[in-house]
């Protein structure tokens, strides 16, 4: 069969005539296709914006984390997890709390806040023997501050006995170190009172200024009971003018030593001299005591730091009028006292 090139020639005139004859049909068809496409796009758009299915939040608290995840997956819910220590050794990996609460109606795809237990912070008893009982108590309080019931606590009051170890040192503990912890535990301890017949040398404070004397209290193992009076003869105001027993004398540790402070007859402008006095509980061994001052301008500084067995406490001071004294025992503030010139004059008149 033979083909001529002319057989494949397009007659554009004929094609144009046919398009003119069928233009109405072509336009209607094109418009229909366009409308159908637009309608389909609108339907898809609104389907994508359709609200997620409403679901009920299941009860997850107290369940294992894996079980909780499966239940949430069935509801098309997703977790937001927070880990937290607890006071039970057997609840590690359990759901401790959830938000929203069980029974709440939420949209599928919502994130649910879960608090998962990491178990207890420690699982074995530590060795506290040789440590200061006060430091151990403070460390345990800090460690379990976020718990309703501390995992470990020191029995109060502990047992005390005389020992060559420094006062306040833990000598024995029950349960012993490395004992497994299965829940909140109280540790019974035996604490040193210090040497029973320990003797110390009385420091020489006679002639020292108040500031110099206070700086030596931190190394002193006697208790000073201070009184005040006006200077006599060549005595200098603001200094220690007498002490009994005398310096360099040997006495049992934390024996009481009487001392007298000379204060100005006419107070220096803006300054107040006197003796701070307080009565403390009797302690089983000398506790660390600090006395700080807060000036009228708000500046805070330490006046003295020393050990005290309890009972009558006294300490001389020379501070600005309006100063606030702060008494701290074992790092805990137990009282504040405002110092004024009028009170000093009243106290001095009573002594005179």
Q: Is residue 154 domain-shared with residue 103, that is, in the same domain?
A: no
DSSP letter for 6, please.
G
**Residue 16 scores a pLDDT above 90:** no
Are residue 231 and residue 259 in the same domain, yes or no?
Answer: yes
208, 207, 210, 205: which is closest to 318 by C-alpha? 210
Segment holding 192, helix H or strand E: strand 185-192
Same domain, 339 and 280: yes
State how far the Cα of 283 lies from the Cα of 168, in Å rounded to an integer: 11
Residue 344 belongs to domain with CATH number:
3.30.10.20
Q: Domain tally for the chain?
A: 3
Same domain, residue pair 218 and 82 = no
Q: Cα dist. 284→152, 161, 190, 233, 300 in Å?
A: 23, 9, 12, 43, 31
Residue 122 domain flag = no
The two tokens of residue 27 are 């336009």
d(CA 294, CA 270): 15
> CA 82, CA 96: separation in Å to the nearest integer?
10
Whether residue 344 is found in the same domain as residue 212: yes
pLDDT at 351 over 50: no
Shared-domain flag, residues 167 and 206: no
| 52-56, 91-95, 106-110, 252-256, range with the lowest pLDDT | 52-56
**pTM of the entire predicted model:** 0.55
Enter the tokens of residue 312: 């009558």
Residue 72 burial (10 A CB sphere; 0-12, 13-18, 19+): buried
Identify the weakest region by mean pLDDT among 105-119, 204-218, 245-259, 299-313: 105-119
pLDDT in tens, 279-313: 999 988 889 999 999 999 999 999 999 999 999 99
Is residue 288 assigned to a domain? yes
Q: Using only C-alpha atoms, what is the Rg of the chain?
A: 42
253 and 343 fall within a common domain: yes
Q: What percent of the chain has pLDDT over 90?
A: 40
Kindly report the backbone phi and psi dihedral angles of residue 12, in degrees, each rounded to the nearest multiple of 5, phi listed first.
-65, -30
**Three-class secondary structure of residue 180 per DSSP:** strand
Asked if residues 312 and 306 have their Cβ atoms less than 8 Å apart, the reply is no
Whole-number pLDDT of residue 172: 94
**How many C-alpha atoms does 65 have within 13 Å on its Cβ side?**
17
Averaged pLDDT for residues 195-202 = 84
Residue-wise pLDDT tens digits, 141-155: 887 777 777 888 999
Domain range spanning residue 147?
A: 133-192
272/318 Cα distance (integer angstroms): 6
Adjacent-strand bridge partners of 159 = 190
Average pLDDT, the chain: 85
20 lies in some domain: no
Domain for residue 126, yes or no?
A: no
pLDDT bin (cut points 50, 70, 90) of residue 352 is: very low
Bond prior to 175 in cis (omega within 30° of 0): yes
- Same domain for 67 and 105, yes or no, is yes
Q: Are 158 and 186 in contact (CB under 8 A)?
A: no
């Amino acid at each position: 069969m033979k083909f001529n090139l002319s057989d494949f020639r397009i007659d554009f005139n004929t094609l144009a005539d046919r398009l003119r004859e069928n233009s109405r049909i072509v336009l209607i068809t094109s418009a229909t296709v366009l409308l159908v496409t637009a309608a389909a796009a609108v339907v898809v758009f609104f389907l994508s914006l359709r609200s997620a299915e409403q679901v009920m939040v299941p009860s997850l608290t107290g369940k294992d984390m894996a079980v909780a995840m499966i239940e949430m997956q069935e509801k098309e819910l997703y977790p937001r997890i927070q880990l937290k220590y607890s006071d039970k050794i057997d609840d590690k990996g359990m759901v401790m709390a959830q938000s929203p609460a069980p029974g709440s109606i939420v949209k599928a795809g919502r994130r649910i806040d879960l608090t998962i237990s990491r178990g207890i912070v420690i699982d074995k008893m530590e060795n506290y023997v040789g440590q200061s009982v006060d430091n151990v108590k403070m460390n345990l309080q800090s460690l379990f501050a976020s718990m309703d019931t501390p995992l470990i606590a020191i029995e109060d009051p502990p047992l005390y006995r005389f020992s060559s170890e420094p006062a306040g040192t833990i000598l024995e503990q029950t349960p012993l170190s490395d004992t497994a912890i299965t829940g909140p535990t109280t540790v019974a301890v035996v604490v040193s009172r210090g040497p029973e017949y320990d003797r110390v040398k009385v420091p020489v404070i006679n002639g020292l200024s108040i500031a110099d004397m206070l700086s030596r209290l931190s190394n002193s193992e006697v208790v000073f009971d201070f009184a005040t009076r006006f200077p006599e003869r060549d005595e200098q105001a603001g200094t220690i003018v007498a002490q009994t027993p005398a310096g360099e004398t040997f006495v049992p540790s934390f024996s009481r030593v009487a001392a007298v402070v000379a204060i100005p007859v006419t107070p220096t402008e803006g300054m107040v001299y006197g003796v701070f006095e307080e009565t403390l509980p009797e302690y089983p061994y000398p506790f660390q005591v600090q006395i700080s001052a807060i000036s009228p301008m708000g500046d805070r500084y330490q006046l003295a730091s020393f050990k005290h067995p309890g009972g009558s406490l006294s300490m001389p001071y020379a501070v600005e009028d309006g100063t606030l004294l702060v008494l701290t025992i074992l790092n805990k503030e137990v009282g504040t006292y405002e110092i004024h010139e009028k009170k000093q004059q009243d106290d001095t008149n009573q002594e005179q």
